[in-house]
Amino acid sequence: MFGYSYSQLLLYIYGGTKLSFGIGLTLMRWHCVYVLLLAINGISEGFKFAVMNHSEIDRYNKSLICLSVGFLIAGYCLVSAFGSSGFIMANCLNMLFRIVHSFHFIQEYFQVPRYWWSRILPHSSVIQTLIAITIITSVSEVYLCCDSIYKWIWHFLLGGCCFLLFLWVVWLKENELVRFVYEQWKKKESSESKPKLN
């Protein structure tokens, strides 16, 4: 959400109007989508490889060959249609197919209902907050970015307030996540405070 609305500001600060408009902005926004899919795939595929046996890994590697061929075809078609941003779109499709495959494997591994993934979605209040923030920051980008330094400072400050609002909603509604992060932080802190033996 913040990646889409603040790509233009980031590129404007880094390289001026040459980067913050046109294809540079489009590439940056699509790359934000790609990074999100990479994160989801990293977690789901990491679990899948951890529990797969040797024959399942071999079978999956063979399916990746077919997926690579599909990626090349999709890349050619999307680049022809959308230019250089089509290559990132093809990568997004590649990650999406791998995520679907991993989710299907997890469903069969645990013998859970088809729509099990709905249980791991954030609280509805968190999702609603994300949607509201996306709308607010998108409108802010249209009216405040990036004509003058005063306007984009207000755009930046609004994003900071929205981020604090998001953290507050997560703190209120995602108790298990907050507790898990706190416990991991305490473990790391205690392990670092222990004296090391020479």
Q: What is the pLDDT of residue 112?
A: 80
Per-chain mean pLDDT for the chain: 88
Shared-domain flag, residues 50 and 141 = no
Question: At which of 67, 92, 118 does a domain end?
Answer: 118
Shared-domain flag, residues 41 and 107 = yes
Shared-domain flag, residues 105 and 131 = no
Shared-domain flag, residues 16 and 104 = yes
% pLDDT > 90, the chain = 44
Enumerate residues 6+ apart whose C-beta is below 8 A from 117: 103
Q: Rounded to two decimals, what is the model's pTM?
A: 0.83
Shared-domain flag, residues 79 and 2 = yes
Shared-domain flag, residues 73 and 143 = no
Residue 198 maps to a domain:
no
Number of helical H runs and strand E runs in the chain: 8, 0
Q: What is the pLDDT of residue 159?
A: 93
Shared-domain flag, residues 61 and 129 = no
* CA proximity to 28, closest of 20, 38, 40, 39: 20
Cα–Cα distance list, 31 to 37, 41, 88, 96, 107 (Å): 10, 15, 7, 14, 29
Tally the domains of the chain: 2
Shared-domain flag, residues 87 and 132 = no
Shared-domain flag, residues 146 and 86 = no
Least confident of 70-74, 83-87, 111-115, 135-139: 111-115
What average pLDDT does the segment 30-49 reach?
Answer: 93
The residue ranking higher by pLDDT, 195 or 157, is 157
Return d(Cα 122, Cα 118) in angstroms, integer.
9
Query: Using 50, 70 and 90 to split pLDDT, how confident is the model at 127?
Result: very high
Shared-domain flag, residues 64 and 157 = no
Which range marks the domain in which residue 51 is found?
A: 1-118
